Structure formats: structure tokens, C-alpha cells
Amino acid sequence: MTMSAQPMPERVALAFPPGFVWGAATAAFQVEGSTGADGREPSVWDTFAATPGAVVGGDTGDPAADHYRRYRDDVALMRTLGLGAYRFSLSWPRIRPFGRPEPRGLEFYDRLVDELLAAGIQPWATLYHWDLPQSLEDQGGWTARDTAYRFAEYAETIVGRLGDRVASWSTLNEPWCAAMLGYGSGVHAPGRSSPEAAVAAAHHLLLGHGLAMDVLRAAAPNTPSGITLNLYPVAADSPADADAARRIDGLQNRLFLDPVLRGGYPEDIADDLAPFGFDQLVRDGDAELIAAPIDWLGVNYYRGYRVADSPRTGSEPAGREWPGAEHVHFVPDPAAPRTHSGWEVQPGGLAESLLQVHRDYRPVPLYITENGASYPDSLTNGEVVDEDRITFLEAHLKAAHDAVSRGVDLRGYFYWSLLDNFEWAEGYAKRFGLVHVDYLSQHRTPKRSAQWYSEVIARNALP
């Protein structure tokens, strides 16, 4: 048989798989505002933000992007951009303030979900994005095992109400941050700094995830459910730094991936954490609960780490959010461009993180549930020309595409964030949005990046 000399069909450059989910993300405390409305209890973030010096500029959860009151306009905006999905988080202190279900809090999310569905946008709900009710923190917060059970109770309240309409559930967002920044270094709420508290929080958050998965299976058996982790590829320059890399990769990535996808904590890290009481925390049956099968894993990616066992030029010690690895140094790459948050732009690391999961763990569909950058955007003549964000976005989407072509089962991408918002301890000064928010007038202006992203969505491919 002879080969015919037919020309090759023209290939669409960097097309994503059919059905790829294109979305944008927010979190309740960062966008909602209205912190005193409808029976909401203060969260640890309200208390923390009220502590002098805790948040840059003394910023608080009000007004944020006033999304609690403007959600209808925001959904209309999402529709204009062509978003297929909206990832948002539910506010525990609105839904079960002081431990009691609050109908007005539930109704807000009910309306939001209906509005999204009417606009043809999939609602992707996260149960916990760091806003623990203050009354639970007063009883020990995540250092208390009981908080995991209270979390399951809260999950039951909300899943019972929205289970029929939410497209996809996530239990936790970035438990590493909640545990290590919240209880280890105290840079985040509730601002505690003790390695014992941090490791207890990590285990109890994961236990809460496992218990909530049981609730989701029972109340929304047909809805895909998972968890979102923030993964960082870790590199080291020399064999002398291998142990530093092992520790950081272990604390950041494997401490969460292994119990969820392999059924137990990584032994080396459990040993490193034993001096902080980690071995006393895990009870019979916990491992099985935490390993409850998930339908998908969410990966949040911002950058990677280069580490060394001792100081190098420009390096910084790891500090208290790294229990047992405080001596490790993070080594900067002077050549890498940086975002306004000071984070190095390392698109290749996104593919590496996805490949780490693909290679080292059992098969699980992956979604990039967050990726984005802050830049000092300015609104000039009614426009925000954020070419730097477009460059960031394009490079990261290329990396995501590269991962797909290397066999990773990646099914979607959510840009962080839809709107400029309250960037935790950095306050309102760091703008991550596709849409600019004027915090005084609450006027929204889609940035040039929003337009660019919208074209990618329409083509399901990079331009």
C-alpha cells in the first residue's frame, strides 16, 4: 500500500481537550463584604484583621468586593466573559453562626447558585476557604479534634440544601496555608505560632476533609467531589541540599497528597513531626477516613521553591511555617520576573506539579483550581491594560497544555481571581482580578486580561 500525499490537516495550535472547564475563582471572605449581615458570626479573619499590624493598611473584610450584595451583576459579568464555571467558597460563619443553622446565610448561597445555573455557569463550591467561626477558634480551632466533627456538621447543613444543584464540591482549600500560616507562623488568622498547633491543625483539617467526604457521598452521591491543595515543585542545586528538598516537598506536598491519595502519611515526614506530637494525633481509623476516594484533585499553583540546607546569596530561612525545617533556606532566582506579590514567575513549575501527582499517585482527574498573579494595575481612561498578566496567563496555560500533552488528565483551569479582592494579610493592595474593582464606588472594569481570557475560552485553545 502506498501512502497518499494528502496534506496534513491544519492543526489547531494548543487546543485543550473537549469539555475542558474554564473558570475563575473567589473565596467568601475575600469578596463578599457585608460581614455583619444576616446573622453572620465573626470569623477568625474578622478578629485577625482587627488586630493592629496583622493586615497591611489595617484593611478588613469590609467592603471587599461587596459580592454579597452585587452577586447578580457579578454573575452577569461572568456570563459576558463566557466563563463555564465559577469556583466560590461558602462561609461557615454565615451558614452555622454559633453552631446553629442560619436560614438567611443559606439563602444567599441558594440565590447565588440559582443565578449561576440560570446563566449557564457551573457552580463549584468549596466548603472551607479559611474563615473559621471565631466561636470555634475560642474552643481550640483546628488544634481541637472536635472541630473536624463540627465541620462535617456544617457540611451536612449546606450539602442538604444545595446538593441538588452544585456542579462540583471541594472540601478544603489549601489546608497547608490554614494549618501552617494560621497556626505555625501566625501570618494568617488565627495568628497562632506554635509547631505543635500547626501539625495538629494539619491533621484535623485532613480529618475534617475525610468526614466531609462521607457527608458529600451520602447527600450528593452523584456530584463529583474533591479537595484543593497548593502544590509547589521543590528543586535543589546539590546533593548536599537533598534533605532540605525532601523536608519542604514533604511538608508542602506529600503531607497532604499521601494521606488523601495513598492512605497514610509519608513516614519520613511523620518522623520529622513526631517531636511536635504528630504521632499522638492520629487515631485508628483516621487514615481510612482521610483516604476516602475523591473524584478529582484541585491543584493551586503559584510558584516553585529552590531550597538549600544553609544560607546562600539572597536566601531566606524557612521560618515557623515549616515545623522541623526552619533551618532550610529558600534561594531566589535573580533572573526570574516577579509579580507584585514578589513571587517569582515560574510557569514550568505548573507542569512539574501536575506531573508529580500524575507520576507518583494513583490516577485522579486534575483541575487547576487556582493560578494567577497580582500586578500594580492602574485604571487609566476607563481601561486597565495589564499586559503583564496576559503574559503570565499565556505562559501558564502553555505549561498546562504541555502537561496535558504529556498524559496528565487535566480537565479544567480556574483563574485566581475573578475580581480584585482582600488578599489576606496583604489587604487590598494586591490585585489579582481579571476584573478591576474600585473599592470606593465598587465599580467593576474588566481588565484587558479578561478580554484575552475570554477569547481563549471561546476557542478552547490558546491564540
Report the catalytic residues: 174, 370
28 binds ligand FCB (CB under 6 A): no
Considering the complex, state which of residue 46 and residue 272 has its C-beta at the smaller distance from ligand FCB: 46
Considering the complex, state which of residue 241 and residue 423 has its C-beta at the smaller distance from ligand FCB: 423
CB of 313 to ligand FCB, least distance (A): 27
The residues that bridge with 23 in the sheet, in sequence order, are 85, 414
Give CA 32 to chain center in angstroms: 17
Enumerate residues 403-422 that contact ligand FCB by CB under 6 A. 416
Near ligand FCB by CB under 6 A: residue from 424, 428, 452, 453? 424
With beta carbons less than 8 A apart as the criterion, state whether 171 and 115 touch.
no
Near ligand FCB by CB under 6 A: residue from 286, 370, 394, 420? 370
With beta carbons less than 8 A apart as the criterion, state whether 343 and 392 touch.
no
CB of 337 to ligand FCB, least distance (A): 17
Considering the complex, state which of residue 157 and residue 374 has its C-beta at the smaller distance from ligand FCB: 374
Cell 520576573, residue located: 337
CB of 12 to ligand FCB, least distance (A): 31
E strand or H helix that includes residue 307? strand 305-308
The amino acid at 23: G
CA–CA distance, 416 with 27 (Å, rounded to integer): 10
Considering the complex, state which of residue 305 and residue 416 has its C-beta at the smaller distance from ligand FCB: 416
- Coil/strand/helix, residue 93: helix
Considering the complex, state which of residue 31 and residue 403 has its C-beta at the smaller distance from ligand FCB: 31
Enumerate residues 163-202 that contact ligand FCB by CB under 6 A. 173-174, 177
CB of 283 to ligand FCB, least distance (A): 29
Within 10 A of 351 (CB to CB), how many other CB atoms are there? 24
DSSP 8-state class, residue 411? E
CA–CA distance, 181 with 227 (Å, rounded to integer): 19
Considering the complex, state which of residue 151 and residue 176 has its C-beta at the smaller distance from ligand FCB: 176
Residue 171 CB contacts under 8 Å (≥ 6 apart), including other chains: 126, 127, 128, 155, 208, 209, 212, 213, 216, 225, 226, 227
CA–CA distance, 232 with 369 (Å, rounded to integer): 14
CB of 382 to ligand FCB, least distance (A): 26
Peptide bond into 405 cis (omega under 30): no
The residues that bridge with 297 in the sheet, in sequence order, are 227, 366
- Coil/strand/helix, residue 368: strand
Considering the complex, state which of residue 223 and residue 300 has its C-beta at the smaller distance from ligand FCB: 300
CA distances from 243 to 235, 236, 266, 311, 361 (A): 11, 9, 15, 15, 22
Q: How many CA atoms lie within 13 A of 393 on its CB side?
A: 30
Tell me whether residue 5 is exposed, middle or buried, using C-beta atoms within 10 angstroms of its C-beta: 0 to 12, 13 to 18, 19 or more: exposed
Near ligand FCB by CB under 6 A: residue from 278, 432, 452, 453? 432
CA–CA distance, 101 with 153 (Å, rounded to integer): 10
- Coil/strand/helix, residue 91: coil
27 binds ligand FCB (CB under 6 A): yes
The count of chain residues that interact with ligand FCB, using the rule CB under 6 A, is 12
Peptide bond into 190 cis (omega under 30): yes
Considering the complex, state which of residue 278 and residue 322 has its C-beta at the smaller distance from ligand FCB: 322
Enumerate residues 294-313 that contact ligand FCB by CB under 6 A. 300
Cell 491519595, residue located: 261
Considering the complex, state which of residue 240 and residue 429 has its C-beta at the smaller distance from ligand FCB: 429
436 phi and psi angles, rounded to 5 deg: -75, 140
CB of 99 to ligand FCB, least distance (A): 25
- Coil/strand/helix, residue 153: helix
Tell me which residue of 368, 395, 381 sits closest to 449, measured CA to CA. Answer: 395
230 binds ligand FCB (CB under 6 A): yes
Q: Which residues contribute to the site for ligand FCB (CB under 6 A)?
A: 27, 30, 173-174, 177, 230, 300, 370, 416, 423-424, 432
